[in-house]
Structure 1
Amino acid sequence: MNLPQKYLDTMKDMLGDEFDAYLDSFNDSRYYGLRVNTLKITPEEFLRISPFELKPIPWIENGFYFSENDKPAKHPYYYAGLYYIQEPSAMTPANVLPVNEDDAILDMCAAPGGKSTELGAKLNHTGMLVTNDISNSRAKALLKNIEVFGIPNVLVMSEDPKKLVSYYPEFFDKIMIDAPCSGEGMFRKDNKLIKSWEKNGPEFYHEIQKGVLLAASKMLKPGGIMQYSTCTFSKLEDEESIRYILNECPELKLIDVKPYEGFSHGYEDDGQERDMQMSKTVRIWPHRMAGEGHFVALIKKDGSDGASVIPSSPSRGLKIPKELQEFLDEITYPVDTADISIRDERVFILPKQAGNTAGLRVMRTGLLLGEIKKNRFEPSQALAMVLRKDQYVSAVDLKSDDENVIRYLKGETIQIDPESCGVVRQSGWQLVCVDGYPLGWGKLANGTLKNKYLAGWRMM
């Protein structure tokens, strides 16, 4: 690997006697990880059904290493949203950010969704997650991952973080900033990033980071906590970006990141004008821990927690059409009809804290329940992923090794034996499951299941 000399000189200055050990880590094998979706299954339950060779990631309660020989992205459990595939050190930021039920949380630079999916799982169907990425194409992947994970209480946006400030002044209990960075921690994983580093290095990203941090500070409510992380080793992008925001906003203070053996402290202030206690931040180095590398800091705003002032809300509490009510009578998932909003025949359940987002590029507001079409209601793929098997009146439950599971995920019509699949009613809508975990919808008639799996999600 042809590492830039400027980068090598900087790393040698930072690491001193550990520099050779760091260089040797480039010869090690990559680490592969998955994080269990605790909205759907506990880590203990997942271990009982997992077909993979798994080892716990010691500092991530629901994280596991898997073997390079395993292919978890091809397994039906992946399509059921039972886990997210993620580099182990990248699991750390969302793991250390303390989340309480009913929190309003913003993930500012969220795509493809590794941190947001964990934050949404921690909220456990409460509060609200606003997950944003300025890139529209990346935000589409973010939306899919949010929906696969079964997170209903969400606003998915594709907006410049600076524009959000006027909509959410001092609104959020928690803010996640996994900042755009030069990606030095990913060189071993993807050496194409070296070319990108040579084109846009730490100085370029430091300026972006300052803007993102300043916007976040204005949206964090008193008593709130924001988390800043990068997958780079640059002091300029890590400690210096933190130093910038602490100097700009004296009401912000660093708090300790939950310690774990192997974490390295951030670099101290080196005699700067005030002690900012950079040792409260942490670094993950690939020669010290089984991960690629990360920097993580937690920052708290002075003041006491108070209720977030919710912006004026969009229309909700509408009269429920007959066809929608008939479907709602068939599910036991809790739906407050006062939170239902209907736009262009599409039916949504809005988060309690959702306000007026007019003027923002919003890709999803709350949970898409489905669509009203010619006096009938068609449930959405997103709703299927939120439900449990026992929350719909009838389900087709297939075994993970049944060839019909793959055929269903490929969008094919399948023949089933209703009795062996646990079907309650012999015709109409069915919640299609694998080993009891929902995958999507189908419509049953005379043993033929018409496939309603979302076309854009199909297995290739």
Structure 2
Amino acid sequence: MRKERFSESAEGTARKIVPVNGREAALLILLQIWEERAYTAIALNRVLRQTKLEEQDRRFATELVNGSVKARGTLDFILGQMVNRPLQKLEPVVRYILHLGLYQIFYLDRIPDSAACNESVNLAKKFSHKGTDKFVNGVLRSSVRQKMALWEKTLEDVSLRLSHPRWLVQRWRKQFGEDETEALCCWDNEPASLCLRVNTLMTARDVFLQDLREMGCEAEVSLWCPDGIVMTRSPGLPALLQTFPHSFYVQDESSMLPAQLLQPKAGEQILDMCAAPGGKTTHIAALMENRGRVTACDIYPHKLKLIEENAKRLKLDNIKTELQDGTVLREEWIEKFDRVLVDAPCSGLGVLRRRAEARWTKKEKDLRDFPALQQRILENASRYVKYGGVLVYSTCTLEDRENGKQIELFLQNHREWKQSGFIHPRSKEVVKELQLYPQRDGVDGFYLTLLQKE
């Protein structure tokens, strides 16, 4: 069998190997997530797109990746009980092979413990150096023998039981209380539903829904957005994209709301300040019936390319990308735009269900940096809006300092702006801001408000 060797950093190596089964795919994806800091969803799509795996293997790889990423803290705790060295001293590929094996042993009842051990040993033989297979075999078989005792230890610690870092559990307990914190963590740990936003430039939602059902899919309309569809059964995203390449964009329900609230009109000049990867940008462009101009900004050229690719796939040609740092004022844009969207960089604590790795990569001290950054972007955005124009501010976090408090401070310093009332998408009541909580609303956590310049 051909050996695949990884360096300590595994930098780029995982991208060069084509996996032959679901476990190999999962291992390569974990290396990209933890060693190259890739988003879970992006790494999954990147690796699986390059394979010829059967659908069953693809689903198994996805389950292994999402599960082991979410349970990383618990898996590391169990692993720490089994080895007599710091986990950071383990070769990365070995650590993730053990993560996958432990996840199958402790979380997947349908997988025999013997199969989890044997297949992990095969991974070690193929992807690590000689002798590692014996180490992996010893660790996993020992964990099987101590399974009940180890599992009881994890249940005694609330952060291990809920698969969230301790600092975050404690923070949410202060904000929401014990019961809601548990409900929120449980929400994050469930598989995320596949949500599609219909490209209304190409088709109507009812028509597309019927097309999906004729394909054998099961789907229902979103209760939050008139362009949204929630899939309950599908053949998988690759098959959907192959069959309907121009008809939809994968987007969370709550993420569809900012463009809807912005209410862009055909022929207007619209600015999307923090646009990548382009979900809200393309939504705005479609709502404008492909007429007028959407200027989409980001600070990274490769992310602008992603926006352009999405626009091309959806057949939208009224989008212009600009390499622009939102914290830097662009003089020629002052009072140029009818409407501006600020989907601000944030701590992202409302979308941990979909960005599974983020719960482990974020630190509590990092939360302090976002309000100042958001304030600078919002300050510049406000200057780009024409008098009489509007600005939508949104985030995907649950932190009030990044949401309501941020807007309160902005309005104190800008008397020419006011919050405008808008219709709540579910209750139909008039509100001035909307904070969605997963454990209460059943969708990703999101904040948005509508501001008008007088």
| Alignment partner of 1:190 is 2:355 | yes
1:31/1:88 contact within 8 Å kept: no
After TM superposition, give the deviation of residue 105 of structure 1 in Å.
Answer: 0.4
| Counterpart mapping for 1:264-413 below 5 A | 280-302=432-454
Contact 1:281 1:295 in 2 (8 A): yes
Q: Report what 2:112 is aligned to.
A: none
What secondary structure does 1:215 align onto? helix
Counterpart-to-counterpart distance in 1, 2:239 and 2:257:
25
Alignment match, 2:301: 136
Partner of residue 246 from structure 1, selected from 407, 411, 418 = 411
The match for 2:230 is 65
**Paired residue for 1:83, among 241, 248, 252?**
248
1:231: Cα distance to partner? 0.8
TM-fit CA distance, 1:114: 0.6
Question: What is the match of residue 8 of structure 1?
Answer: 169
Once residues 372 and 281 of structure 2 are traced to their aligned partners in structure 1, the CA distance between those partners, rounded to angstroms, is 24
What secondary structure, in the 3-state scheme, does the structure 2 residue paired with 1:155 have?
strand
- Rounded to whole Å, the distance in 1 between the matches of 2:250 and 2:428 is 22
Q: Does 1:124 align with 2:289?
A: yes
Give a deviation string over 1:110-151, Cα, whole Å, max 9, x none. 000110010000111222110111111111111111121112
| Structure 1 range deviating more: 245-254 or 197-206 | 197-206
Q: Are the aligned partners of 1:109 and 1:132 in contact in 2 as well (CA < 8 Å)? A: yes
CA contact (8 A) 1:230 1:296 kept: yes
RMSD value, Cα: 2.3
Q: Does 1:49 align with 2:214?
A: no
Structure 2 partner of 1:34: 196
Determine the C-alpha separation between the residues in 2 that align with 1:189 and 1:20.
Answer: 18
Structure 1: how far apart are the matches of 2:451 and 2:434?
13
| 1:221 equivalent among 386, 394, 413 | 386
Render the CA deviation track for 1:404-427: whole Å, top value 9, x for unaligned.
Answer: xxxxxxxxxxxxxxxxxxxxxxxx
Counterpart position of 1:442: none
Question: For the Cα contact (< 8 Å) 2:191–2:353, is it kept in 1?
Answer: no
Answer whether contact 1:203 1:236 (CA < 8 A) is retained. no
2:164 maps to a residue whose letter is L
Q: 1:31 to 1:290 in 2, by over 3 A?
A: farther
Give the secondary-structure state (helix, strand or coil) at the position aligned to 1:224.
strand
Looking at structure 2, the residues matched to 234 and 198 of structure 1 have their Cα atoms a distance apart, in angstroms, of: 14
Q: Distance in 2 between matches of 1:77 and 1:118?
A: 21
Counterpart for residue 405 of structure 1: none
TM-score (normalised: structure 2): 0.59
Q: What do residues 314-372 of structure 1 show as CA deviations (whole Å, max 9, x unaligned)?
A: xxxxxxxxxxxxxxxxxxxxxxxxxxxxxxxxxxxxxxxxxxxxxxxxxxxxxxxxxxx
Give 1:284's aligned amino acid: L
Q: Does 1:206 align with 2:371?
A: yes
1:234 correspondence with 2:387: no
**Alpha-carbon distance in 2 for matches of 1:241, 1:196:** 24
**Cα separation, partners in 2 of 1:103 and 1:200, compared to 1, 3 Å:** farther
2-structure distance, mates of 1:68, 1:206 = 39
C-alpha deviations, 1:398-456, integer Å up to 9, x for none?
Answer: xxxxxxxxxxxxxxxxxxxxxxxxxxxxxxxxxxxxxxxxxxxxxxxxxxxxxxxxxxx
| Structure 1, 217-226 or 182-191: larger mean CA deviation | 182-191
Q: Determine the structure 2 residue equivalent to 1:159.
A: 324
Counterpart residue identity of residue 36, structure 1: V
SS at match of 1:160: coil
Change (3 A) 1:211 1:59: same
Once the two structures are superposed, what CA deviation does each residue of 1:258-295 show, in whole Å capped at 9, x if it has no partner?
Answer: 21337999xxxxxxxxxxxxx62111111223322111
Per-residue deviation at 1:214?
0.4
Q: For the Cα contact (< 8 Å) 1:132–1:156, is it kept in 2? A: yes
Name the SS of the counterpart of 2:363 in structure 1.
helix
More helix by share: 2
Match of 2:149 in 1: none
* 1:69 positional shift: 4.4
Aligned twin of 1:445: none
Q: For the residues of structure 2 that align with 1:78 and 1:133, how far apart are their CA atoms? A: 31
Contact 1:55 1:66 in 2 (8 A): yes
Distance 1:209 1:76, change over 3 A: closer
Pairing 1:169–2:331 present? no
Are the counterparts in 2 of residues 175 and 220 from structure 1 also a CA contact under 8 Å?
A: yes
Contact 1:32-1:88 at 8 Å conserved across structures: no
Q: Structure 1's 27 and 196: CA in aligned 2 closer, same or farther, altered over 3 A?
A: closer
User: Partner letter of residue 49 of structure 1?
Assistant: D
| Structure 1 contact 21–287 (Cα < 8 Å) conserved | yes
Q: Deviation at 1:155? A: 1.4
Q: Residues of 2 paired with 1:43 and 1:207: CA distance?
A: 40
- For the residues of structure 1 that align with 2:315 and 2:374, how far apart are their CA atoms? 30
State the TM-score, normalizing by the size of structure 1.
0.59
Given residue 227 of structure 1, which amino acid in structure 2 is its aligned partner? Answer: V
Deviation at 1:167, TM superposition (A): 1.6
Query: Does structure 1 retain, via aligned residues, the 8 Å contact 2:277–2:306?
Result: yes
Q: 1:44 to 1:10 in 2, by over 3 A?
A: same
Superposition deviation, residue 197 in structure 1:
1.9
| Counterpart secondary structure, 2:448 | strand
Q: Distance in 1 between matches of 2:422 and 2:386?
A: 20
2:163 and 2:189 in contact (8 A); partners too = no
Query: Higher strand fraction: Structure 1 or Structure 2?
Result: 1
Report the alpha carbon displacement of residue 85 of structure 1 after superposing the two structures with TM. Answer: 0.7
What letter corresponds to residue 3 of structure 1 in structure 2? Answer: H
Q: What is the deviation of 1:296? A: 0.9
2:167–2:364 CA contact under 8 A, matched in 1: no
How many residues are aligned here?
289
